[in-house]
């Protein structure tokens, strides 16, 4: 599976991750309601929501004068699947590095014992 760099760039921002958490916990929210719970302005929240909407992680519906945003659970599941794939690849790499380091340490110990 290939990794969607735009998706991960959007999720990579801590404010956007916190926004997703808030939206998931509450079932949705507006730029105003989110800005009340975040240390950023309503305008900044609106820009972050625009990024999340462009990438498909949130969808907006109009309710009066406000737009209510909800998380697209299918797109979030796709992101989680990609993260799992990346995690598995890095786990494999780290295990190889660990084995190499252990082999080097063992070889170094054997050389030290031979000298004494």
For residue 108, what pLDDT is reported? 85
Chain segment 73-97, per-residue pLDDT in tens: 999 998 888 888 888 888 889 999 9
Q: Is the per-residue pLDDT at 21 higher than 70?
A: yes
Residue 45, both tokens? 């929240």
pTM: 0.73
For residue 15, the enclosing domain spans 1-116
Q: pLDDT exceeding 90 applies to what percent of the chain?
A: 64
Instruction: Name the 3-class secondary structure at 61.
Output: strand
Residue 104: CATH number of its domain: 1.10.10.10
What's the structural domain count of the chain? 1
Q: Residue ranges of the alpha helices (H) in 2-116?
A: 5-11, 14-26, 31-37, 42-55, 73-115
Q: How many residues does the chain have?
A: 116
- In this prediction, residue 17 has a pLDDT band, given cuts at 50, 70 and 90, of very high
């Amino acid at each position: 599976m290939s990794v969607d760099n735009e998706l991960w760039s959007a999720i990579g921002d801590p404010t956007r991750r916190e926004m997703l958490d808030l939206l998931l916990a509450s079932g949705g929210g507006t730029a105003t309601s989110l800005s009340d719970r975040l240390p950023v302005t309503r305008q900044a929240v609106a820009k972050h929501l625009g990024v999340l909407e462009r990438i498909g992680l949130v969808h907006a519906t109009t309710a009066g004068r406000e737009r209510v945003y909800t998380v697209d659970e299918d797109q979030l599941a796709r992101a989680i699947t990609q993260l799992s794939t990346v995690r598995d690849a890095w786990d494999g790499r780290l295990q190889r590095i660990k084995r190499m380091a252990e082999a080097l340490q063992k070889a170094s110990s054997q050389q030290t014992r031979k000298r004494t």
